[in-house]
Chain A
């Protein structure tokens, strides 16, 4: 136990303070995210992640968004196991033929109003997997998409910025 406490105090808070270079973006984006989440989602934006057939690269970065350095929860963003509680679906692609039905069901299970964000080059247009008997291409070929976040895979900073862009756009929907 002493070792654990020692390690905790030694490490301190690693969550980005006001770091240099690109990382400054995290905090800048984060501040605006926090405001937008407070305003439009009653301080809590809940996301259900759906892997619709990805290579798992995008999942690595979505997981990294939750690590103590990016710590997306401080901006009011959390991930849920159930689509029933979700405000947003974060979908990685390409959508495989074998995941098409599961993706549609997850979409239907998510209450309105909802946002869908297609993540990664493959989620946008199928990427290197293209469209074939097994790959239906981008997420939009199966469910309506509100925004996309390009990248292979998009970095955690790209993801935060992408989420910010989608929740500050399209103000006509009322999520509160």
Chain B
């Protein structure tokens, strides 16, 4: 039984109505009156649940107005709490008094759906993702908004947080950064070399992904999901497919489930390898960057040879996978893992025994355990700050239920911890892939497709290499996607970076940033 939904049911009684047509049944959707929305948050906070996501939906085409949904999570339980918002009073109770991640979730809801949070703790109504040069009434997620329109630019100014005082100065960085990376703006307030404050301003890569889903077929949707954040293409495609499969009642064949897990772990290893080297490089130890990028490249090449794509795009599809693995392929992966383990351990010894590197990565960029929890961080960022969160362990789907990943949780909360969690995960993913290959079931790799029931909704979480990805899909009329809500781990973890750099020196920012390595595209959508 779901502990969170029992709590809400006990508090709200007959006022909490369990939604039908929402899947999977293990994640209930409870509708409560709008004026109880904040009370529900207070209750959830009291039992220790985190706010995993918060979003709005326009249900005009279904004969209703708007709704705001909050997703709470505690260990293996997820719960969706929904309240309806009338068209003539588009406001909802703010959850910012209780939950810090609600700050950005609600700015996003207000910017893109035009629903105003009431009782916001700092009255922060600055646009988020939406820029100040968009017309104020451009709310792209509303059904009345024509996505094909060319948006005019209007004059406007973003109000930055400012620090004042003798010797205090400001450093603006971006959106076009020095390296080959995604665009975003960082504004530092600094004194001497110390960072007093960092304010992120994201949204530069906003491509209208959530709106775009509404114009695509269910089948094409997975291609778009696979391009929400290119480096997490397997995880995003998988999360889209799992929410769609929950919605439609599709059960992929066992072989497909195993192959998906193999692809997911290969994506994890490839990204971890690249980033461990990149962190070392930002501490001026280029040797490890080149060594680790050599290992990563080897993995990518085998991906291409066995699965037809270096990053495994479009290999996970609704109902299963688009590519099978031959016995020769299995042998090739096993041989590669043996080689990789040997090479990897040599390099990790070098990482571990290098005092000048240690001097840079230890006690740098500390995100305290309390902050990591309160900010709602997920994935390796959370695990490096003492938070035991991993969807593969807490809400496992096959084959993870049979072969539980071992979760590494560290408490030093610094750059080194974020690297070391990933070192342990590379080792564990190698073990998992070996287990999956040894037990790979025979048979089909694709289930028959079943069309979604109109107005039904599906929810899924998947632990990508960055952490928990959340998808909520809602079917409109026949064959139409009414809403596809995506919460990339970056949406919450970017908050962690702002806090982790405080008190560090400006030259350590790239190192801190690389140790988080969050996605701009996954955040901006």
> Which residue numbers of A lie inside 8 Å of B, CB to CB?
3-4, 7-8, 11, 14, 49-64, 66-69, 79, 81, 83, 94, 96-99, 102, 106, 127-135, 152-153, 155
Q: Are B224 and A7 in contact (CB under 8 A)?
A: no
Contact residue among B227, B291, B293, B313 (Cβ-Cβ distance under 8 Å from A7):
B291
Do B204 and A64 touch across chains, with their CB atoms under 8 A apart?
A: no
B205, B231, B350, B524 pick with most chain A CB within 10 angstroms: B205
Q: How far is the CB of A97 from chain B (nearest CB, A)?
A: 6
Given contacts A4-B350, A57-B230, is CB(A69)–CB(B294) below 8 Å?
Answer: yes
Report chain B residues within 8 Å CB of A69: 294, 297
Q: What is the CB-to-nearest-CB distance from A7 to chain B, in angstroms, rounded to a whole number?
A: 6
Contacts of A68 in B (CB 8 A): 290, 293-294
Do residues A7 and B347 form an inter-chain contact, with CB atoms below 8 A? yes
B207 CB within 8 Å of chain A: yes
Contact B206 A7 (CB under 8 A): no
Q: How many chain B residues have a CB neighbour from A under 8 Å?
A: 58
A153→B350 contact, CB < 8 A: no
Apart from A69-B297, A129-B207, list 15 A-B contacts with CB within 8 A: A49-B180, A51-B180, A56-B182, A57-B230, A63-B180, A63-B274, A64-B293, A67-B290, A68-B290, A68-B294, A96-B205, A99-B175, A132-B147, A135-B207, A155-B304
With beta carbons under 8 angstroms apart, the residue of B179, B209, B287, B291 that contacts A129 is B209
Asked whether A11 and B291 contact (CB < 8 A) given A55-B228, A79-B180, A98-B205, the answer is yes
- Measured CB to CB, the nearest residue on chain A to B215 is A130
- Cβ B206 vs Cβ A134 within 8 A: yes
Q: Is B148 within 8 A of A152, CB to CB?
A: no
Which of B140, B181, B204, B297 is within 8 Å of A96, CB to CB? B204
A-B contact pairs, 20 of them (CB 8 A): A3-B353, A7-B287, A7-B346, A8-B287, A49-B180, A55-B227, A57-B230, A57-B311, A58-B230, A60-B231, A63-B180, A64-B300, A81-B178, A96-B524, A98-B205, A129-B224, A131-B148, A133-B146, A134-B211, A135-B208
B138 at interface by CB-CB < 8 Å: yes
For residue B310, CB closer than 8 A to chain A, the reply is yes
CB neighbours of B206 from chain A (8 A)? 53, 96-98, 134
Is there contact, CB below 8 Å, between A3 and B350?
yes
Interface contact A57-B231, CB-CB below 8 Å: yes
Residue contact B230 to A133, C-beta cutoff 8 Å: no
Q: For B176, what are the chain A residues with a Cβ–Cβ distance below 8 Å?
A: 50, 83, 102, 106
A61 to chain B, nearest CB (A): 8
Report A-chain residues with C-beta under 8 Å of the C-beta of B335. Answer: none
B297 and A4 contact, CB distance less than 8 A: no
Interchain CB contact under 8 A, B180 and A59: yes
A56 touches B300 (CB 8 A): no
Q: Which 6 A-B pairs have the closest CB atoms?
A: A57-B230, A134-B208, A81-B178, A67-B293, A55-B230, A55-B227
- In Å, the complex CA distance between A153 and B304 comes to 12
Q: Is B223 an interface residue (CB 8 A)?
A: yes
Contact B183 A99 (CB under 8 A): yes
Q: Are B208 and A133 in contact (CB under 8 A)?
A: yes
A89 to chain B, nearest CB (A): 10
The residue on A at minimum CB distance from B203 is A98
User: Which chain B residue shows the least CB distance to A130?
Assistant: B212
Contact at B178–A55, with CB atoms within 8 Å?
Answer: no
Whole-angstrom CA separation of A52 from B206 in the bound complex: 10
Contact B150 A81 (CB under 8 A): no
B contact residues around A66 at 8 Å (CB): 180
Contact check: which of A3, A102, A129, A155 meets B175 at CB < 8 Å? A102
Interface string of B189-232 (1 = CB under 8 A from A): 00000000000000111111101100000001001100111110
Across the interface, do A53 and B204 meet the contact criterion of CB distance under 8 Å? yes
Docked Cα-Cα span, A83 to B183, in Å, equals 15
- Most chain B beta carbons < 10 A, residue from A50, A52, A98, A130: A98
Cβ-based interface call for B233 (8 A): yes
Nearest-Cβ distance from residue B369 to partner chain A, whole angstroms: 29
Contacts of B229 in A (CB 8 A): 55-56
Q: Is the CB of A57 within 8 A of B227?
A: yes
Q: Which residue of A52, A102, A132 is within 8 Å of B211 (Cβ)?
A: A132
The verdict on A54 contacting B205 (CB below 8 Å), with A99-B183, A133-B150 known, is yes
B313 to chain A: closest residue by CB: A152
Known: A14-B294, A50-B176, A68-B294. A134 touches B230 (CB 8 A): no
B92 to A: closest C-beta gap in Å? 24
Pairwise interchain contact A51-B207, C-beta atoms closer than 8 A: no
Cβ–Cβ < 8 Å partners of B149 in chain A:
133
Most buried by A among B149, B150, B180, B181: B180
In angstroms, how far is the closest chain B Cβ from the Cβ of A60? 6
B521 lies within 8 A of chain A by Cβ = yes
Which chain B positions have C-beta within 8 A of A134? 140, 151, 206-208, 211
Q: Is B258 an interface residue (CB 8 A)?
A: no
Least CB separation from B216: chain A residue: A128
Give the shortest distance, in Å, between B462 (CB) and chain A (any CB): 17
Q: Are A67 and B297 in contact (CB under 8 A)?
A: yes
Chain A residues whose CB sits within 8 angstroms of the CB of B180 once the complex forms: 49, 51, 59, 62-63, 66, 79
The interface centre, meaning the residue of B220, B297, B313 with most chain A CB atoms within 10 A of its CB, is: B297
